[in-house]
Amino acid sequence: MTGGSSGLGFALAEGLSAAGLAVSIIGRNADRVGEAEARLRGLGGAVRGIACDVSRQDQVGRAFEKIGAPVGFLFNVAGVGQFGPVEDITEEMIDEVSAGNLKGLMLASAAVLPMMRAAGVGTIVSVLSTAALVGRAQEPVYCAAKWGARGFMEALRVALKGTPIRTVTVYPGGMRTPFWSAASGLSPDVATFMDPREVARQILRVVLDPGGTNVTEMTISRP
């Protein structure tokens, strides 16, 4: 679970633990990963926290070495928001938004895929945003990264068609999570946004019990 320290990643880890699965949560900040690990263990989960910047291929490699056991599910949930008009785009903004939303998702998927192929089973879930489906004037770089991740997941889906490995791409609307306090350039009223535990519930129903189908894309919005 990338982005597992807080928000939707934490809620998904909580749900997977409650379903009896061992979960490794990955996050950039070692302190926050440790706190989330302790909270999830307090709830009875078999949870391990791993500090790792998934936009760095060497760190991703080491993280999967630590996990070791066959990985049944990869959840790409990590994300960062930097917003503002096109005129205010900087090279640093592009690099940070790409690393946080796109590069790490590709590197983690590339690293887990050989393990899943060897095991003959697996599901790669990427949680993007409705910003991957439309253009938004104040979110040009964020839209680029999210559409980019959508294109990558489409390529992955085509590559894995007919294999036992599934892909699920999720496009949630805004959630009440720490994403917004870390984001720059937009300060929406998150009080009306979705509860991440509700969103996690919708995702896990599909991912944990797909039956004979492939739900390859899900858009989840406020009523």
- End-to-end Cα distance, the chain: 27
> Is 171 a known active-site residue?
no
Interacting residues with a copy of itself between 36 and 75 (CB under 8 A): 55-57
Among 110, 120, 188, 221, binds a copy of itself (CB under 8 A): 110
Helix locations, the chain, DSSP H: 7-18, 30-42, 57-67, 91-98, 104-119, 140-160, 179-182, 196-208
- C-alpha–C-alpha distance, residues 7 and 163, integer Å: 32
Residue 166 interacting with a copy of itself (CB under 8 A): no
Catalytic residue among 10, 83, 142, 152: 142
| Minimum gap (Å) between residue 64 Cβ and a copy of itself | 13
Among 140, 172, 174, 196, binds a copy of itself (CB under 8 A): 140
Site size for a copy of itself (CB under 8 A): 47
Residue that has been written with the tokens 């790669």 in this structure: 124
Residue that has been written with the tokens 């019990």 in this structure: 209
Return the C-alpha torsion angle 212, 213, 214, 220, nearest 10. -130
Task: Identify the CA nearest to 178 among candidates 21, 29, 66, 46.
Answer: 29
Residue 28 interacting with a copy of itself (CB under 8 A): no
Interface region with a copy of itself, contact rule CB under 8 A, candidates 8-16, 42-50, 62-70, 108-116: 108-116
Residue 148 interacting with a copy of itself (CB under 8 A): yes
Interface region with a copy of itself, contact rule CB under 8 A, candidates 18-26, 27-35, 99-107, 171-179: 99-107
* Whole-number Cα distances in Å, 50 to 16, 54, 119, 122, 163: 17, 11, 23, 21, 29
Binding footprint of a copy of itself on the chain (CB under 8 A): 55-57, 85-91, 94, 98, 102-103, 106-107, 109-110, 113-114, 131-132, 134-141, 143-159
State the catalytic residues. 142
